[in-house]
Amino acid sequence: MGASRLVEGGPCRNILAVAVDPSTLRIVNYPAPILRQQAERIEKITSETQAVAMGMLALMHEAAGIGLAAPQVGLPWRLFVANPTGDPEDDQIFINPELVAPSRELVDQEEGCLSLPDVRAVIRRPLAVTIRALNFDGQPFEFTSDELPARIWQHEYDHLEGILILQRMSAIDRMANRRAIRGLEAEYRV
């Protein structure tokens, strides 16, 4: 039996639980509604949860990404995976993460998003942050970074809150990405 996924149905938008086959996970593109929803805590880490996390890591590597959140594969779970180096030995799984102690120093840096192909924007975020989460085996851990991992954690955490870089980008970046955003919206309607 696979892990459960919440799926929206018809005009009444009923939410149904259905099985998830981790091998069928695919990246969901904007403007899919799941990307704007706040994800739910994972109450129990099961073999299905772990299989989904491993599937997400594989999908992230296949897409040449450095982070991927569960809503980006259509799952409303508080789970993301990350790898700042691309080396599989640096793969990390974050279950029910919390960001704490963001630095007061803010830094602008260009970001992209696997759910927004061809969209790039300069996003202002705290330079440093601490993350607390559960690992693959459900054990708590804490990391602090003021480098690329801190930016990845903040970006992926935003996905768990239903926030996209579209909401954080400047008006100039929004205009510069208008064609790509409209293209994604048109593809979604088809």
Catalytic residue positions, numbered = 156
H, E, C per residue of the chain = CCEEEEEECCCCCCEEEEEECHHHCCCCCCCCHHHHCCCECCCCCCHHHHHHHHHHHHHHHHCCCCEEEHHHHCCCECEEEECCCCCHHHCEEEEEEEEECCCCCEEEEEEECCCCCCCEEEEEEECCEEEEEECCCCCEEEEEECCHHHHHHHHHHHHHCCCCHHHHCCHHHHHHCHHHHHHHHHHHHC
Supply angle C-alpha 159, 31, 109, rounded to 5. Answer: 50
Residue pair 30/181 in contact (Cβ under 8 Å)? The answer is: yes
